[in-house]
């Protein structure tokens, strides 16, 4: 299906790009409304689905009850703090080895590998240094 690039869709994509990704749909909505006050939450959800289908954004499900969105970029991994839930992109030498494996195994028993994902969960230095216990409150948008 061919979707045209609407003003709302561009505003949503610009918001994700400007804030570096790892944002929930609600965070994208709150941030995008600063520049586009007539934007609705439903419009954000619908357009995120379209942008994901087009490959402009990637939906990330880390098992945290909400999905996060980032722009499509070079393959990378994520470090996730289990205390503050901060998500950080990281490029590791491990990636080169996995990509070589994927290329050598284009057809594994009828299954064609298209991409891979790997997340590392732990405690970030800030949380470790502060001794904060795991938080149950919602993650606030990152300030940029």
Domain 75-135 CATH class label: alpha beta
CA–CA distance, 142 with 144 (Å, rounded to integer)? 6
Q: What is the pLDDT of residue 142?
A: 46
**Fold match, 1-73 / 75-135:** no
| pLDDT above 70 as % of the chain | 80
C-alpha angle 64-52-122 in degrees, rounded to nearest 5: 30
Q: Name the residue ranges covered by the structural domains of the chain.
A: 1-73, 75-135
Q: What's the whole-model pTM score?
A: 0.71
Q: What kind and span of H or E run contains 77? A: strand 77-81
Q: How confident is the model at residue 1 (pLDDT cuts 50, 70, 90)?
A: very low
Convert 8-73 into a string of H (helix), E (strand) and C (coil): HHHHHHHHHHHCCCCECHHHHHHHHHCCCCCCCHHHHHHHHHHHHHHCCEEEEECCCCCEEEEECC
Q: What pLDDT sits at residue 134?
A: 59
Q: Report pLDDT for 44.
A: 96
- In contact, 120 and 79? CB cutoff 8 Å: yes
Tell me: domain 1-73, CATH 3.40.630.30, correct? no
Helix/strand number for the chain, H first, E second: 5, 5
């Amino acid at each position: 299906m061919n979707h045209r690039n609407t003003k709302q869709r561009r505003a949503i994509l610009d918001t994700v790009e400007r804030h570096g990704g790892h944002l929930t749909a609600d965070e994208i909505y709150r941030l995008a409304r600063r520049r586009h006050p007539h934007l609705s939450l439903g419009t954000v959800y619908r357009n995120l689905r379209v942008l994901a289908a087009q490959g402009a954004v990637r939906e990330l499900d880390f098992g945290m009850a909400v999905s996060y969105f980032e722009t499509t970029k070079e393959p990378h991994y994520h470090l996730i703090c289990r205390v503050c839930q901060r998500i950080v992109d990281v490029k590791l030498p491990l990636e080169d080895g996995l990509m070589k494996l994927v290329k050598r195994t284009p057809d594994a028993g009828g299954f064609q590998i298209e991409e891979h994902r790997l997340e590392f969960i732990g405690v970030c230095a800030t949380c470790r240094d502060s001794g904060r216990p795991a938080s149950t409150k919602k993650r606030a948008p990152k300030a940029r």
